[in-house]
Amino acid sequence: MNFAPLQTKRLNLWPLGKDDLGSLARLVGDCETPHTSTQGFLPTDAVHLPAWVQACHAHMVAGVSFTFGCRRRVDHALVGVASLIVGDGRGEITFWFLGSYFGLGYEAEALSRLKELAFDSLYLPRLCAVTDVVNCNTIGILEEVGLGSIHVGSIDNLALAEGNGARFFELKRCSGRNHQTGAMPPVVFVGAVALVDHFNRVLLGQRPADKAMANLWEFPGGKLEPGETLRTSAIREIAEELGVEIVPDHLTPFSIASYRYSDFHLLMSLFICRKWSGDCRSMHHRAIQWVPAVELTALPVPPADFELVGELRALLVP
């Protein structure tokens, strides 16, 4: 997957892959690491890491969580893992970093990028975290990012030292100091759909002549709006652009594209749909076309769509 990483001043945030398993095994074995981790975030047994990495990719495509390996830009060393989990009208951040890098600010740098992702790109109203009450390192990191302690209690799915409680943190979107600083391009989320008919043809739309990347062919879809998930965003856009209705359960998460344009960073989730209501008609594009799967890579497409088109062709062509 040719994924343009999200960047901070010193880090690249990449989706995890099989090449990261060795580094992840060292990470989970580091007992000095500062972290906030609910059970199921990062397995404590390395034997479960391959399945966990696969699940992280599937969840990112579906837009329910975004888990990144945090690598130093200078030498590509994996220093930790940070995740933004989306649900119930909020985001929860979890992280796990190597203890040998503690005190260098990498954790706060990665979490600040996730905070921007939550508030400025996913439009979430609040950000939460939970950690052990005695984990001073983690508490300090969360406070540095801007989260404040709201109460101490107990929680069933948090790995706590025996006898300890859990400290709950929260930051609301209106609290200030939680918006884009301008140092990095804004991240724009897009939900797109590959409509596939009974002949394994895929519907593509041609961009209007007066728009950027004019006349290129693309998957129908559009930008996430406040209050939407990527799935509901894709459904709305398909109705607006093609005049057809899709039931949420008929969307299957397929892949995700990450591409850095000159003025923004695009994260586009592509869903596959084989069942919808109504006849497709061009209500937004210059033209629409049912393209045989074998011919998908023959049409000119925007840079962000290029790899998705190849992946979809590989899936549909025997």
DSSP string, 248-283: GGGEEEEEEEEEE-SS-EEEEEEEEES--BS----S
Tokens of 106: 């990498």
Beta partners for residue 249, in sequence order = none
Distance CA 60, CA 253 (A): 9
Tokens of 178: 């939680």
pLDDT in tens, the chain (318 residues): 679 999 999 999 999 999 999 999 988 887 666 555 544 477 878 899 999 999 999 999 999 999 999 999 999 999 999 999 999 889 999 998 988 888 899 999 999 999 999 999 999 999 999 887 777 888 999 999 999 999 887 665 555 444 567 889 999 997 544 454 457 889 999 999 999 999 999 999 999 998 899 999 999 999 999 999 999 999 999 999 999 999 999 999 999 999 999 999 999 999 999 999 999 999 999 999 999 999 999 999 999 999 999 999 999 998
Distance CA 248, CA 246 (A): 6
Distance CA 25, CA 81 (A): 12
pTM assigned to the model: 0.90
Instruction: Report phi then psi at 180, rounded to 5.
Output: -55, 130
Tokens of 33: 């690491």
| Burial of 281 per CB tally in 10 Å (0-12, 13-18, 19+) | exposed
Quickly list H helices, 29-167. 49-62, 106-116, 136-145
Quickly list H helices, 74-151. 106-116, 136-145
Alpha carbon 248 to chain centroid, angstroms: 19
| Burial of 124 per CB tally in 10 Å (0-12, 13-18, 19+) | buried
Distance CA 131, CA 138 (A): 7
Distance CA 278, CA 281 (A): 9
3-state secondary structure of 29: coil
What local confidence, expressed as pLDDT, does residue 36 receive?
58
In the chain, the domains with their CATH numbers are 6-175 (3.40.630.30), 187-316 (3.90.79.10)
Sequence-separated (6 or more) residues with CB below 8 Å from residue 150 = 168, 169, 170
Distance CA 209, CA 286 (A): 7
Handedness of CA 91, 92, 98, 99 (dihedral sign): positive
